[in-house]
């Protein structure tokens, strides 16, 4: 039996421009899966593990900047979406989470795969909607159409994010032999988008503050790549000598004079001028030292620019929250401000940045081989105009310390919840969607945690993975606290003997094992070249040696 209101979900998705669906097999969801699979405008991929499927879908949505449909059956399958739903919520990535459900009368009756699915994602969802189970009345059909339209529109409103559409279905839900899938035209509700701008009076107020400020600092937190923003910020800096700090996930490393070594030179007691005006773009910041500095040294004014009504006052001194596109703001500000010859703040910070960069390169060149040198050498070789995905824990921190030289490298990291789960899957989704060379830099724990990311038959020949294998959770040896505990080795180091070799063999990756710098450099000569198979380089190192090197690195660069 074909259910028309289920077919309508697929039709509305296509009408709204949702062309990608990730499905995990199940019986209760069969009618939804078949409706999407048979729709001519929707590309369906099947991933068995719901947790990996959700992160893969998120990686695709991240690249397309459009919602992706996730479809699974009822019961515990739904709960496996939760980590990716929370990550998408805080990264503001649109997802349409479609879950099949039992009819309401069967919930809590000890029948198979019946759990309370309505509101299952709690506060980490933009909206949670349930379709009516009986659609015999015309009002129920109208209601169903309205809810599906609403779900899609809400996912795309700023801040973008995941929306849950729960679909209770009664048996029979499999089509009969000879049934044909038809997708008649249906009502699509359009939300006409408008550009947010500032009034002339508001611009006058802001420019007055700009002119009064003796020193200014702009910090770019996590943002999706945007060449127009890079161009505007480059012009703004050349016109005003504005000091710009770019975190590696801010995707503004192509700005020639952007500050990137802040985590090194802000760690000590170096006296650095505090800005009168702080401007921040984007979402989370990686650098703890930068956050501490800005919290302890409050600017007179702090403007935060990001689309959406979510208030971000993590630096604790916010004065103006501007619900605007950073690109619009940077472009308009550049047009409206006067040219200036110099800025003491810019000269001070840039001089310190240059010295920190010099000392960083000097130290790494002469240091023993370990994770720091391995990451440095990999990021020196990463091709221009490719993608870099960073797992959490030490991978993203190393990258933020070392930086990227190649032009046009797009950087992504799951810094919404900052968990290690889903790093592989997100990179897989991005590789499938973008078609670009996609490199994942990850640790052994994050890699092993998400091996089901590769449990499908889709082409990943453009995927490259660097696994930093220190046989456990190396980050806990790098931060204060864990090492002083009597159960450090047992509870925090999580020593494990596994490697990526068998995973590579199982899923058809080319694999190389590296234990020294010469071997790594030899492998990197071919690693990024096109191939028929994805590739893994696994870098083995001693976690205690890594701790010693990292501590010495920070101490060496501290003496600026």
* pLDDT digits 0-9 by tens, 203-256: 999 999 999 998 999 999 999 999 999 999 999 999 999 999 999 999 999 998
3-state secondary structure string across 248-263: HHHCCCCCCCCECCHH
Any domain includes 185: no
Q: Which of 424, 458, 455 is nearest to 536 (CA)?
A: 424
pLDDT of residue 139 exceeding 90: yes
Q: Kindly state whether residue 302 falls inside one of the protein's structural domains.
A: yes
pLDDT category of residue 49 using cuts at 50, 70 and 90: very high
Segments forming the whole domain that contains residue 14: 4-168
Residue 178 lies in a domain: no
Q: Is 449 helix (H, G, I), strand (E, B) or coil?
A: helix
Residues 334 and 407 in one domain: no
Q: Look up tokens 């619900």; give the residue.
A: 323
Residues 406 and 519 in one domain: yes
Query: Mean per-residue pLDDT for 339-345?
Result: 71
411 lies in the same domain as 485: yes
Is the confidence at residue 333, as pLDDT, over 60? yes
Q: Tokens 């023993």, residue?
A: 368
pLDDT at 197 over 60: yes
Task: Tell me what percent of the residues of the chain surpass a pLDDT of 70.
Answer: 94
Domain-embedded: residue 552 = yes
pLDDT attached to residue 341? 65
Q: What is the DSSP letter of 259?
A: B
Tell me what the mean pLDDT of segment 323-333 comes to: 96
Residue 192 lies in a domain: no
Tokens 């029979």 belong to residue: 172
Token output for 341: 């010859």
194 or 86, higher pLDDT: 86
Task: Specify the higher pLDDT residue, 345 or 82.
Answer: 82
CB 400 within 8 A of CB 417: no
127 plus 274 within the same structural domain: no
pLDDT at 258 over 60: yes
Has residue 476 got a pLDDT over 70?
no
Residues 148 and 210 in one domain: no
Reported confidence tier of residue 64, pLDDT bands at 50, 70, 90: very high
Asked whether residue 65 falls in the same domain as residue 40, the answer is yes
H/E stretch holding 448 reads helix 444-449
**Are residues 209 and 306 both part of a single domain?**
yes
Query: Helices (H) and strands (E) in the chain — how many of each?
Result: 19, 17
Res. 339: pLDDT tops 90:
no
pLDDT grade for 45, boundaries at 50, 70 and 90: very high
Residue 198's pLDDT band, with cuts at 50, 70 and 90, is very high
DSSP 311-346: ---TTS---EEE-S-HHHHHHHHHHHSPP-S--HHH
Is the pLDDT at 556 greater than 70? The verdict is yes
Least Cα distance to 515 among 410, 402, 370 occurs for 370
Q: What is the CATH number of the domain that holds 329?
A: 3.40.50.1220
What average pLDDT does this structure show over 322-340?
A: 94
Beta-carbon count within 10 A of 60 CB: 27
Phi, psi at 27, each rounded to 5°: -85, -50
Question: What is the rounded CA–CA span in Å between residue 138 and residue 165?
Answer: 20
Q: Are residues 73 and 12 in the same domain?
A: yes
* pLDDT class of 157 with cuts at 50, 70, 90: very high
Chain centroid to CA 211: 36
Other beta carbons within 10 angstroms of residue 186's beta carbon come to 18
Same domain assignment for residues 506 and 404:
yes
Q: Quick one: CA torsion of 46, 48, 51, 56, rounded to 10 degrees?
A: -30
Q: What is the DSSP letter of 177?
A: T
Of residues 162, 166, 69, the one with CA closest to residue 123:
162
Instruction: Kindly indicate the confidence band of residue 488, based on its pLDDT and cuts at 50, 70 and 90.
Output: low
Give, for 43, the enclosing helix (H) or strand (E): strand 43-46
Whether 182 is covered by a domain: the verdict is no
Burial class (CB in 10 A: 0-12, 13-18, 19+), 309: exposed
pLDDT value of position 473: 64
Residue 117 domain-assigned (yes or no): yes
pLDDT in tens, 348-366: 888 899 999 999 999 999 9
Looking at residue 199, what is its pLDDT?
Answer: 95
Q: For residues 515 and 521, what is the distance between their CA atoms, to the nearest angstrom? A: 11
Measure the CA–CA gap between 320 and 209, rounded to whole angstroms.
11
User: CB-side exposure of 429: number of CA atoms within 13 Å?
Assistant: 34
Higher-pLDDT residue of 134 and 538 is 538
Query: Does residue 475 register a pLDDT over 70?
Result: no
pLDDT of 474 above 60: no
Q: What is the mean pLDDT of residues 456-473?
A: 94
Helices 423-434 and 50-64 cross at an angle (nearest 10°) of 40
Cα of first residue to Cα of last residue in the chain, in angstroms, is 73
In this structure, is residue 361 part of a structural domain?
Answer: no
Tokens of 194: 């408008």
Tell me how many domains the chain contains: 3
Whether residue 528 is predicted with pLDDT greater than 80 in this model: the reply is yes
The string of pLDDT tens digits covering residues 98-123 is: 999 999 998 888 887 888 999 999 99
Q: How does pLDDT run across 12-28, given as a tens digit for each residue?
A: 999 999 999 999 999 99
pLDDT at position 487 is 64
Q: What is the pLDDT of residues 378-405, one digit of tens each?
A: 999 999 999 999 999 999 999 999 999 8
Model pLDDT for residues 164-196, shown as the tens digit of each residue: 999 999 888 788 877 888 898 899 999 988 889
pLDDT of residue 271: 76
Model pLDDT, residue 477? 57
pLDDT of residue 344: 66
Band of the pLDDT at 43, cuts 50, 70, 90? very high
Average pLDDT, the chain: 92
Residues with Cβ within 8 Å of residue 460, at least 6 apart in sequence: 428, 431, 432, 454, 534
pTM for the full model?
0.94
The CATH number of whichever domain residue 491 belongs to comes to 3.40.50.970
CA distance 413 to 62: 11
pLDDT for residue 317 is more than 70: yes
Looking at the structure, do residues 227 and 257 belong to the same domain, yes or no?
Answer: yes
Please enumerate in sequence order all residues whose Cβ is within 8 A of that of 472, keeping only pairs 6 or more positions apart, or say none.
Answer: 444, 445, 493, 494, 495, 496, 543
Q: Are 80 and 131 part of one and the same domain?
A: yes
Q: CA–CA distance from 147 to each of 93, 117, 144 (Å)?
A: 20, 17, 5
- Residue tagged 């995990």 (tokens): 24
Strand runs (DSSP E) across 384-437, as ranges?
A: 387-390, 410-413
Backbone angles phi, psi at 303, to 5 degrees: -105, 130
Q: Are residues 73 and 207 in the same domain?
A: no
d(CA 370, CA 204) in angstroms, rounded, equals 53
pLDDT digits over 506-524, tens only?
999 999 999 999 999 999 9
Residue whose C-alpha is closest to residue 83's, from 494, 440, 425 = 425
| 438 or 107: which leads in pLDDT | 438
């Amino acid at each position: 039996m074909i259910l028309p209101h289920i077919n309508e979900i697929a039709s509305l998705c296509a009408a709204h421009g949702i062309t990608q669906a990730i499905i995990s097999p199940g019986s209760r969801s069969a009618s939804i899966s078949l409706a999407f699979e048979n729709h001519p405008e929707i590309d369906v991929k099947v991933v068995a593990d719901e947790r990996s499927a959700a992160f893969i879908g998120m990686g695709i949505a991240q690249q397309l900047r459009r919602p992706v449909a996730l479809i699974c059956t009822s019961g515990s399958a739904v709960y496996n979406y939760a980590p990716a739903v929370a990550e998408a919520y805080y990264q503001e990535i649109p997802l349409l989470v479609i879950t099949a459900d039992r009819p309401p009368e069967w919930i809590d009756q000890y029948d198979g795969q019946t759990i309370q699915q309505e509101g299952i994602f709690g506060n980490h969802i933009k909206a949670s909607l349930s379709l009516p189970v009986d659609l015999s009345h015309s009002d129920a059909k109208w209601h169903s159409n309205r809810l599906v339209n609403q779900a899609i529109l809400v996912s795309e409103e700023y801040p973008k994010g995941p929306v849950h559409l729960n679909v209770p279905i009664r048996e029979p839900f499999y089509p009969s032999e000879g049934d044909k899938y038809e997708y008649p035209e249906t009502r699509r509700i359009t939300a006409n988008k408008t550009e947010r701008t500032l009034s002339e009076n508001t611009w006058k107020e802001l420019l007055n503050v700009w002119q009064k400020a003796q020193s200014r600092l702009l910090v770019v937190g996590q943002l999706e790549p945007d060449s127009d923003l890079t161009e505007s910020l480059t012009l703004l800096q050349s016109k005003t000598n504005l000091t710009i700090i770019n975190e590696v996930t801010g995707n503004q490393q192509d700005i020639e004079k952007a500050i990137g070594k802040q985590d090194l030179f802000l760690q000590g007691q170096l006296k650095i001028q505090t800005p009168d005006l702080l401007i921040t773009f984007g979402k989370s910041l990686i650098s703890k030292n930068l956050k501490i500095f800005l919290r302890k040294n409050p600017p007179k004014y702090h403007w935060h620019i990001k689309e959406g009504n979510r208030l971000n006052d993590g630096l604790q001194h916010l004065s103006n929250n501007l619900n605007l596109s950073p690109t619009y703001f940077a472009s308009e500000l550049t047009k409206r401000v006067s040219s200036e010859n110099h800025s003491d703040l810019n000269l001070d910070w840039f001089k310190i940045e240059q010295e920190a960069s010099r000392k960083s390169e000097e130290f790494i060149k002469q240091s023993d081989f370990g994770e720091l040198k391995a990451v440095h050498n990999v990021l020196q070789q990463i091709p221009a105009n490719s993608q870099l995905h960073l797992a959490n824990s030490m991978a993203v921190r190393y990258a933020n310390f070392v930086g990227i030289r190649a032009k046009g490298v797009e950087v992504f990291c799951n810094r919404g919840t900052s968990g290690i789960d889903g790093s592989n899957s997100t990179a897989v989704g991005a590789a499938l969607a973008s078609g670009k060379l996609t490199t994942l830099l990850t640790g052994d724990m994050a890699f092993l945690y998400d091996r089901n990311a590769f449990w499908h038959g889709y082409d990943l020949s453009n995927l490259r993975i660097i696994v930093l294998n220190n046989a456990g959770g190396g980050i806990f040896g790098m931060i204060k606290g864990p090492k002083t505990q009597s159960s450090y080795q047992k509870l925090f180091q999580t020593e494990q003997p596994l490697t990526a070799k068998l995973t590579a063999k199982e899923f058809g990756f080319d694999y190389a094992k590296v234990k020294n710098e010469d071997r790594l450099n030899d492998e990197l000569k071919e690693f990024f070249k096109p191939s028929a198979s994805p590739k893994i380089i696994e870098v083995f190192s001693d976690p205690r040696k890594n701790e010693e090197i990292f501590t010495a690195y920070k101490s060496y660069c501290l003496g600026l």
